């Protein structure tokens, strides 16, 4: 689990994002990939201890590919400058709550919750917030949760109340979200520290009540 090597490689990719350089340095990539897979294997093991629904997942299938899909992007850089893994009962957080680990020089973070639920699931989540907002408030104001997170990320938030809900709804700010994600950033020094995996697991443990709330809403 050599995070300094991973960060060094990703920094080099950022500066030399082309296929020729990548092929010449394929060995560094394979080493970084293996280091990340070792971390994900241990990380998953720790998560299963408090989230049994993750048992049975193949840790090698959880990381995302480093190769970018540039078909519909103006940025034609062929490689991502990060390594990430999605962890949920079905695999990589496909339309279900889970956890996400993102390693990138200067931009590493842990996240969890529900990313861009399809319309049916989004409606169910909003309905659950409408009916059981007090339960969600207890989760978001819990001391352990607040140690790591400051509410939902607002990258995907509507400017007005969604259709069917009054503008003065007591939970309107939560209802405006189209993704229900929380995240915590880590510095490069924290990522390189031996206690990083422990901290990452603690952050995910704080996310679990939120994931449970979202999962129950969609059932």
Q: Is the pLDDT of residue 32 over 90?
A: yes
Q: Which domain holds residue 112?
A: 3-218
Q: Is the pLDDT of residue 43 over 90?
A: yes
The CATH number that applies at residue 68 is: 3.30.930
Average pLDDT in the chain: 95
Task: Judge contact between 186 and 199, C-beta under 8 A.
Answer: yes
Of 23-37, 71-85, 112-126, 182-196, where does mean pLDDT reach its minimum? Answer: 71-85
Output the DSSP codes for 48-111: HTT-GGGTT--GGGSBPPSB---TT-S---SB-S-EEEEEBTTBS-SSS-EEEEEE-TT-EEEE
> What mean pLDDT do residues 111-126 have?
96
Q: Is the pLDDT of residue 74 over 70?
A: yes
Task: Judge contact between 151 and 180, C-beta under 8 A.
Answer: no
| Residue of 22, 33, 43 whose CA lies nearest to 82 | 33
Would you tell me how many other CB atoms lie within 10 Å of the CB of residue 110? Answer: 25
Q: Is the pLDDT of residue 93 over 70?
A: no
Q: Which residue has the tokens 């001391």?
A: 143
Quote the number of domains for the chain: 1
The H or E element that residue 186 is part of is strand 180-186
Task: Judge contact between 111 and 128, C-beta under 8 A.
Answer: no
């Amino acid at each position: 689990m050599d995070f300094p090597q991973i960060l060094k490689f990703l920094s080099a990719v950022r500066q030399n994002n082309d296929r020729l350089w990548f092929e010449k340095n394929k060995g560094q990539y394979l080493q970084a990939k293996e280091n990340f897979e070792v971390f994900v294997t241990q990380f998953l093991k720790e998560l299963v201890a408090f989230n049994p629904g993750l048992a049975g997942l193949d840790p090698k299938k959880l990381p995302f590919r480093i190769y970018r899909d540039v078909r519909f992007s103006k940025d034609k850089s062929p490689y991502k400058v990060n390594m990430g893994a999605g962890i949920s009962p079905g695999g990589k957080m496909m339309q279900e709550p889970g956890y996400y680990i993102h390693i990138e020089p200067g931009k590493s973070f842990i996240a969890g919750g529900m990313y861009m639920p399809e319309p049916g699931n989004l409606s169910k989540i909003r309905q659950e917030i409408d009916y059981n907002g007090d339960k969600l408030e207890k989760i978001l104001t819990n001391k352990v949760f607040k140690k790591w997170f400051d509410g939902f990320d607002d990258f995907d938030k509507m400017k007005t109340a969604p259709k069917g809900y009054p503008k003065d709804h007591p939970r309107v700010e939560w209802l405006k979200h189209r993704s229900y994600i929380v995240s915590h950033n880590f510095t490069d020094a924290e990522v390189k520290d031996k206690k990083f995996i422990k901290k990452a697991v603690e952050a995910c443990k704080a996310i679990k009540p939120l994931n449970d709330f979202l999962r129950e809403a969609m059932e």
